[in-house]
Amino acid sequence: MADAFLTGLLELARSVFERGEEEQALRFLLEAWRETRSERLAGLVEKLSARLTAELPPLACEPHSSEMELRQPLDLPRMLESLLETANQGRLIVLREQLEALRKWPADPRLVPPLLAIASMPAAGNLWVRAALIDLFGHLRDSRTALALQALYEAPDGERYDFGRRGAFLPRVDASEPSPLDAEARALCRSLEEDLDAREEADASRRSLRKELLARVRARPEDDGARLVLADQLLEQGDPLGEFIALQCSPHPDEDRVKALLARHGMSWRAPLGPLADPDHTRFERGFPASVRLSIRRGQQVLPPPGPAWGTVREIDWYWESPPGAAAWLAHPHLGGVTRLLRMRDATARELGRYPLPVRSLQLRGGVASQLTEAFTLLAALPHLTCVDIYNALPDDVRLCATSPLAARLQRFTASVSGYWSLVVTPSAEVTVEATLLNVQRAAALADAIRAAVGFGTRALRVRDGFPPDERARLQLRSAASAYARVEWE
C-alpha cells in the first residue's frame, strides 16, 4: 500500500509538471520524500526548487513573519541565506528562535544542507542552539544528518551538565535510513529527472529572450505592445502568466478566468516583489503588479532595495508606516514609475522634495499643520505633484496648503474626516470648491475648512446638504460661504 501511495504521488508530480504546474509538482515531490526520506527524491526536490526560485529575491528568516506562518514551499529556500547569515554573525538567541520556528514546518530535505553547515560552525557550541539543531534534525529524519548528530552529542560534560541545570535536555535522536524505492518509483524518478533536464535545456535558449522582454516591460510599463509580445512568448511555453497578461490587456477580459489564475499563481507572481509587498493587497493591471501595500515591521530601520519587478508599480500604500530612509528608498531607479503614494506619514513626506521623484498624487494624515508648518513648501519641490489628499484633516491643514507655493499648481486638493465632512478643490473647474457636510455636529469644522480654502480661489462654492436642520449650523456655513463670488446650495 505504501509503495502504491508513493507511486501515485510521483505520477501526480510528473503529470502536473508536464502541464507546466511546476510548483504543484514540487509539492507532490515533497510529499513523496516525506514518505521515503529518499536521497534521490531530495535531489529532485532541490533541483526543481532551485529552478522555481532562481529569479525570486531572498526572504528574511523571521520567526513571526507571515511567510513563516504560511509555510509556502517556495518561501523556505529563500530564507536559508538569512538563516546562515545569522549563524555566521553569532547571533545565538535569534538563531535559536529561527531554528525553533523552522521546526514547525513540514519536514523538508532543503533544510539539510544549511543545517549541516550550521552544525559545523562555532554557533553550534551554544547549548540552546545545539538542542534546537538536534530537535530539527530529529524532525527531518534524514540519514545525511547522522554524522552531524553524533558530533552534536559529543559535547563536554560540563556544558551538558550546565544545560541540564537550566531545566532543558538534549533529545537523543537518530537519523532514519531512507526507505528503498521500488522499480516503478525509480522509473518515475528517472522520467522526472529527464523531463526536468529537458525543460532546463529548452528554457536555456529562451531564457535570455524572456529576460530581455521582461526588462522591456519594466522599463516601458505604459507600452502594451511589449507586454503582448512577452505574453505570446510565454503562451508558446505553456506559462500561465502569458494567458494572464493577454487577458488583462484585453478590452473585455474574462474576469472569472483572471480570478482563477490569480488564485492559483498569484503568490508566485507577487514573489519577485520581495517581503515588503503585502500579498493580500497587491493589485495587478495588464498582467503585472501595479498597486502595492507595504508590509513594514514596526521598528524596521532599513528597507531592502526594490528589485526589477517593482518597475511596473504605479501606486504604493504606506499604511501609515514609513521608516527612516523611506524617501531615499523611493528614489531607487526601479521605482521610477511610482506616481501615487497613499497613507504616507508627513515626517517622511517632507523628505520627498530632496529627490527628483515623479510623484503626482500624495495622501497624508491630518494634523500636518501642527507637525510641520513648512510641509507643503517642501513638497513644492516635487515637480510633478498636482494632487494632494489629507485624511482626517483639520481646517488648519487646508489653510496651510492653500497658502503654500504648492497651491498654485495643484489640480486637485481633497480634505476629509470620514463620516463627518469632505472638501474637494478643483481650481480649474467652474466650481472651485465643493464642500459636503455628513454630520451636523461638525458644521463648524467644515465652515472653517471652507474659509481656509479661499486661497485656492473664490470663483464658486458648492455646498452639499447646505441646509442642515440645525439653525446654528446653517449660519456657520452661510458665513463661511460669503467669501465666494458664487454659491450653490444642494
In tens, the pLDDT along 333-374 reads: 999 999 999 999 877 888 898 998 999 999 999 988 887 788
3-state helix, strand, coil in the chain (%, to 5): 55, 10, 35
* DSSP of 313-340: --EEE-TT---TTHHHHHTSGGGTT--E
Distance between CA atoms of 315 and 329, rounded to whole angstroms? Answer: 14
Q: What is the mean pLDDT of the chain?
A: 90
DSSP letter for 295, please.
-
Listed range (171-180, 188-197, 251-260, 380-389) with the worst mean pLDDT: 171-180
Q: Is the pLDDT of residue 488 over 80?
A: yes
Distance between CA atoms of 287 and 314, rounded to whole angstroms? Answer: 13
- C-alpha cell of residue 98: 529561527
Specify the 3-state DSSP secondary structure of 414. strand
Q: Which of the four pLDDT bands, split at 50, 70 and 90, describes residue 179? A: confident
Give mean pLDDT, residues 4-31. Answer: 94
Three-class secondary structure assignment of 34-51:
HHHCCHHHHHHHHHHHHH
Specify the 3-state DSSP secondary structure of 211. helix
pTM given for the model: 0.76
Q: What would the pLDDT profile of 241-263 be if each residue is shown by its tens digit?
A: 999 999 999 999 999 999 999 99
pLDDT for 169 equals: 46
Contact call for residues 188 and 10 (beta carbons, < 8 A): yes
Q: Residue 246 — left, alpha, or beta (φ > 0 → left; ψ -120 to 50 → alpha)?
A: alpha
User: For the chain, which residues make up each domain, given as ranges?
Assistant: 2-165, 423-490
Q: Which of the four pLDDT bands, split at 50, 70 and 90, describes residue 217? A: very high
Q: Which of the four pLDDT bands, split at 50, 70 and 90, describes residue 1? A: very low
Give mean pLDDT, residues 425-435. Answer: 95
Unique residue bearing C-alpha cell 510565454: 234
